[in-house]
Amino acid sequence: MLAEASVDDLPALVREFDGGRPRWIWSDTRRWYPSLLQAGVRVERCHDLRLVGAVLADSESVGPARASAPDRPAWLPRGPAEAAAGLTVAVVPSSAASSAGGAPALFELSDHAAHPPQVQPGDAEPAHRARDGVASAREVAAEHDRQESLIARSSSPGALRLLLAAESAGALIGAELAAAGVPWDADVHDRVLEAELGPRPAAGRKPERMEVLAAQVRLALDAPRLNLDSQADLLRALRAAGIGVASTSRWELREHEHAAIDPLVAYRRMSRLLTANGWTWLGEWVHDGRFRPEYVPGGTATGRWATSGGGALQLPKQVRAAVSADPGWWLVVADAAQLEPRILAAMSGDRRMADAGRGRDVYRGIVDAGVVETRDQAKVAMLGAMYGATTGESGRLVPRLHRAFPAAMALVDRAAAVGERGGRVTTLLGRSSPLPPETWRAIQSRASEPDATPADERRARSSARDWGRFTRNFVVQGTAAEWALCWMAGLRTRLAAIEVGELARPAAASGAAFQCSPHIVYFLHDELIVHAPEGVVDDVVAAVREAAAEAGRMLFGSFPIEFPLDLAVVGSYAEADD
């Protein structure tokens, strides 16, 4: 079935068909979903051809199947920056059709008014197709078939299906987060800024307190015209004053005793707050009591999300007091405690490491097992093992973990070895790392030529180890990202099923699709916040916990691993920060 419609009809189409629980197939969630949400319409499931195509293009699980399959079509956007526009389609397998194995329904949505087609007479393959992600309904259906075939012929279709469903759910959630927004109290934020920086300065000026600190630094360094914001000038002035630093970073400054250091560090701290999350940021990113950052699901190589504006992934603790629930609503703040060590234990099948975390803090468990003496040592050793530390206290402690947890350490060591050779590594569910860039290969081959110098060899070894640290971390960080996606996707489904009774005060600023029901408002790698009406907070807490337990089972089956949550029901994000 092929139906033609205008993009403006999409909300009505979705309303009509979503009750049948179809999986909507579309080119790019970022192209289609925001306008649906704006119309107050949510979809339950989707297949994001762009995101799925990106995973399949690299996944080693697909391996041989890819060689005999056609390439991804040129119209399919590659990167998140290339949002598709123009004529394109949504494909809906109706519940009846899919259960009967019949053909899906195709909807071809024209958007000619907004994006007139630029086809010149005689164009075989119009240039705007490749550029804008424009495709016909048949092309979208064909791409879906191609992707399904790759999955079916892969070495682990089940794991890959889970990953790709979670990835697509993540795309829906990313759009929903933007639509709902983080409830933000601009007055609280303003009070934080005044407490830290003093009164708001006039446009183009710095806060008085920063000027005072700058004057102290200039006096102490005997550099009356010094610009503290210029790293080069500052380094020169520090060295001229006899402070032997190689950089102006805070940790290096802190190793010296000088009258300039304290005011300089204080200036830096204030400058950071002012430029990253000051009044300008507040005016640009917070409107009507909501902070709406732009998330980029699947935006990093490991599968973690990125952001393309607003800096949502780096909200400093200083301003988290401004994240506050609407009247009659609460924030349910949950983060997975020591997610990455637990992920490593489970994916490597290391029962002793899993035991160390059962019913307690992982790092405590490592101390209790007699591996190291203090919790801090356990933490730096574990981080060092996952990040590839070779020096310092961390590097010295890692060998103790090798003796205690050989299976877990062998997994990350193997991943590092593959990376050092320039190979790919793959997460539990099948996301593979990118290959190193051409420049990296050039450095390696230079070192193996007969006339290679010791410097060439050093450079090659160093860049090989750099890439090895990346792949070492990739398997753990990437699998942790998969757990987090499954957690969040399961939570989203559960939240949608929670019945909200008579609600005293709808959260109007959350948008038509969310104002009466609990919804996720923030996500940060292993942590999320649900904005929940007073009456259903207990249901939301239970949903958050159940979804975490279910994510563990989906990834690791019956392997005895726990993913405990630190969870708090609070009025303000800052209160969750014990």
Residue among 17, 279, 281, 363 that touches DNA (CB under 7 A): 281
21 binds DNA (CB under 7 A): no
In the complex, the smallest distance separating the C-beta of residue 572 from DNA, rounded to whole angstroms, is 15
User: Following DSSP, what letter does each residue of 236-300 receive, concatenated?
Assistant: HHHHHTT---SS--HHHHTTS--TTHHHHHHHHHHHHHHHHHSHHHHHHHEETTEE--EEETT-S
User: Which residue, 494, 475, 491, is CA-closest to 548?
Assistant: 491
Of 310, 365, 511, 533, the residue at the interface with DNA (CB under 7 A) is 310
Q: Is 306 in the site for DNA (CB under 7 A)?
A: yes
Closest CA to 14 of 51, 41, 53, 47: 41
Q: Which of 29, 59, 348, 394 contacts DNA by CB under 7 A?
A: 394
Look up residue 352 and give its amino acid: R
Position 321 contacts DNA (CB under 7 A):
no
The site string for DNA over 466-505 (x = CB under 7 A, - otherwise) reads: x--xx-xxx--x----------------------------
Contact pick of 6, 38, 99, 314 for DNA (by CB under 7 A): 314
The count of chain residues that interact with DNA, using the rule CB under 7 A, is: 62
Q: Look at residues 363, 309, 395, 429 and name the one whose alpha carbon lies nearest to residue 55.
A: 429
Q: How far is the CB of 243 from DNA (least distance, A)?
A: 12
Q: Given candidates 2, 39, 276, 516, which one binds DNA under the rule CB under 7 A? A: 276
Would you say 426 and 59 are in contact if contact means Cβ atoms under 8 Å apart? Answer: yes
User: 3-state secondary structure string, 76-101?
Assistant: CCCCCCCCCCCCEEEEECCHHHHHCC
Q: How far is the CB of 468 from DNA (least distance, A)?
A: 9
Q: Is 388 in the site for DNA (CB under 7 A)?
A: yes
Sorted by sequence, the CB contacts under 8 Å of residue 34 that are 6+ apart come out as 175, 178, 179
Helices first, then strands: H and E counts in the chain = 23, 14
Our CB check for DNA shows the closer of 512 and 524 to be: 524
Residue 147 or 348 having the CB closest to DNA:
348
CA distances from residue 180 to 30, 370, 499, 529 in whole angstroms, order as listed: 15, 47, 19, 12
Contact of 56 with 62, CB cutoff 8 Å? yes
Q: Which of 229, 368, 534, 546 binds DNA (CB under 7 A)?
A: 229
Instruction: Rule CB under 7 A: choose which of 59, 147, 248, 572 binds DNA.
Output: 248
Contact between 258 and DNA per CB under 7 A: no
- State yes or no: residue 247 binds DNA (CB under 7 A): yes
Amino acid letter for position 64? P
Q: How far apart are CA 531 and CA 233, in angstroms?
A: 47
Contact 211, 197 (CB under 8 A): no
572 binds DNA (CB under 7 A): no
**Count of C-beta atoms within a 10 Å radius of residue 218:** 18
- DSSP annotation of 524: -
| 422 interacts with DNA by CB under 7 A | no
* Chain residues 354-383 in contact with DNA, contact rule CB under 7 A: 380, 383
Least Å distance between CB 138 and DNA? 34
Q: Which is nearer to DNA, 41 or 273 (CB)?
A: 273
The residue from 100, 251, 451, 497 that contacts DNA (CB under 7 A) is: 251
- CB closer to DNA out of 150 and 210: 210
In the complex, what is the shortest distance from the CB of residue 530 to DNA, in angstroms, rounded to a whole number?
A: 17
| Cα–Cα dist 578/574, whole Å | 8
Alpha helices in 438-515 (DSSP H): 438-447, 454-497
230: number of Cβ within 10 Å: 12
Contact status, residue 181 vs residue 293, Cβ threshold 8 Å: no
Within 10 Å of residue 98's Cβ, how many Cβ atoms?
17
Answer yes or no: are the C-beta atoms of 528 and 486 closer than 8 Å: no
Which range binds DNA by CB under 7 A, 102-110, 160-168, 303-311, 489-497? 303-311
Give the binding range for DNA (CB under 7 A) out of 130-138, 200-208, 222-230, 325-333: 222-230
Nearer to DNA, 326 or 420 (CB): 420
Closer CB to DNA, residue 148 or residue 527? 527
Q: Which of 300, 445, 448, 462 binds DNA (CB under 7 A)?
A: 300
Provide CB contacts within 8 A for 514, sequence distance 6+.
176, 179, 180, 507, 531
- Report the residue from 125, 393, 534, 538 that binds DNA according to the rule CB under 7 A: 393
Question: Is residue 545 part of the contact set for DNA (CB under 7 A)?
Answer: no
- Read out DSSP for 408-447? HHHHHHHHHHHHHTT---B-SSSPBPPPPPHHHHHHHHHH
Q: Which of residues 523-542 bind DNA (CB under 7 A)?
A: 524-527
Amino acid making up residue 231: Q
CB of 235 to DNA, least distance (A): 6
Question: Is residue 311 close enough to count as binding DNA by CB under 7 A?
Answer: yes
Q: Least Å distance between CB 379 and DNA? A: 7
CA angle 243, 244, 245 (to 5 degrees): 100
Cα 101-105-111 angle, rounded to 5 deg: 155
By the rule CB under 7 A, 250 interacts with DNA = yes
Choices 3-11, 105-113, 241-249, 456-464; region in contact with DNA by CB under 7 A: 241-249
Asked if 296 touches DNA (CB under 7 A), the answer is yes
Question: Which range in 5-13, 229-237, 322-330, 453-461 contacts DNA by CB under 7 A?
Answer: 229-237
Which one among 136, 155, 156, 307 touches DNA, defined by CB under 7 A? 307
- The answer to the question of residue 302 lying near DNA (CB under 7 A) is yes
- Contact residues for DNA (CB under 7 A)? 227, 229-233, 235, 247-251, 254, 265, 268-269, 272, 275-276, 281, 296, 299-302, 304, 306-311, 313-318, 335, 380, 383-384, 387-395, 466, 469-470, 472-474, 477, 524-527
